[in-house]
Amino acid sequence: MSNVAKYITMEFKKWLNINELNTVGTEDVDSSQIESIYDKAKIAVQLVRLYDATRSDSDTDPQNAKLLKNISTIVPLGTGAWGLYNSGKNRKVIGTNAANKIRFTFGDDVIKSQKINTIPNAVIKQHIPDIPSKELQPSDVISVNVKAIVDKLGDTPKAIAEIASTIVHEATHELEHQIKGKTDESGPLRAEQQFKDWLKRSVATITAKFPNINWSEI
């Protein structure tokens, strides 16, 4: 690798780390990659954020936890399903006290090798019940096949709603993985339906926020 290439790679990693720290533990996610495919994907993320405002901030119940709090980035999915959550892409932002507790219980290698990123928070808390949740913050990635959704539904309110619903679905997979230590389709499908029901109930509120879109078509 040339010196220029190394410099670009280092600068990208710095940007990624700064961006991650700016979004971790909040409902602000980096959705720039899916927005570059479909600019109204930004509205889909904002819809999920509005929905998140109606939910509690539970650390023990995936159906009530903030959907976007653990998600740092939403990336495009090129083939297959409309959405994907891959726990292999997980990362954690770990505080100093939590790191010391993890080293004592799991060994130093689990942090140095980044194996800790693949261990659900639920499993860590089984072994270290007093570990502070705020010092063990997931910074995870979900994928949405924006192109496939827009290809099928067009540039329509239904496409925006479907992108948002897919985000809800995949974020619920992530929450279940972190909170319960496992996930299947039942919880995400239920969460997706609850979100769609909320969308229909909230047409007036959503229209006031995004008046240039005919939300009655969802």
DSSP assignment of 126-160 equals HH-TT--GGGEEE-EEEEE-HHHHHHHH-SSHHHH
Query: What does the pLDDT read at residue 107?
Result: 87
Query: What does the pLDDT read at residue 80?
Result: 82
Lowest mean pLDDT segment, chosen from 33-37, 96-100, 153-157, 167-171: 96-100
H/E stretch holding 44 reads helix 41-52
User: What pLDDT, in 10s, does the model give residues 130-157?
Assistant: 998 888 999 999 999 999 999 999 999 9
Asked whether the beta carbons of 83 and 143 are under 8 A apart, the reply is: yes
Give this prediction's pTM.
0.86
Query: What does the pLDDT read at residue 26?
Result: 56
> Between helices 146-153 and 157-180, what is the axis angle to 10°?
150
> Average pLDDT of 194-213?
96
Statement: residue 10 has pLDDT above 50: no
Query: What does the pLDDT read at residue 132?
Result: 84
User: What pLDDT, in 10s, does the model give residues 51-68?
Assistant: 999 998 888 899 999 999
User: What pLDDT, in 10s, does the model give residues 88-123?
Assistant: 889 999 888 888 999 999 888 888 888 889 899 999
Statement: residue 11 has pLDDT above 70: no
> Average pLDDT of 6-15?
41
Statement: residue 12 has pLDDT above 70: no
pLDDT band at 27 (very low <50, low <70, confident <90, very high): low
Q: Which two tokens stand for residue 125?
A: 């808390």
pLDDT band at 126 (very low <50, low <70, confident <90, very high): very high
d(Cα 121, Cα 68) in Å, to the nearest integer? 16
- Percentage of the residues of the chain whose pLDDT score is greater than 90: 66
d(Cα 179, Cα 125) in Å, to the nearest integer? 10
Rounded mean pLDDT of the chain? 88
Nearest to 24 by CA among 71, 76, 82, 60: 71
Statement: residue 17 has pLDDT above 90: no
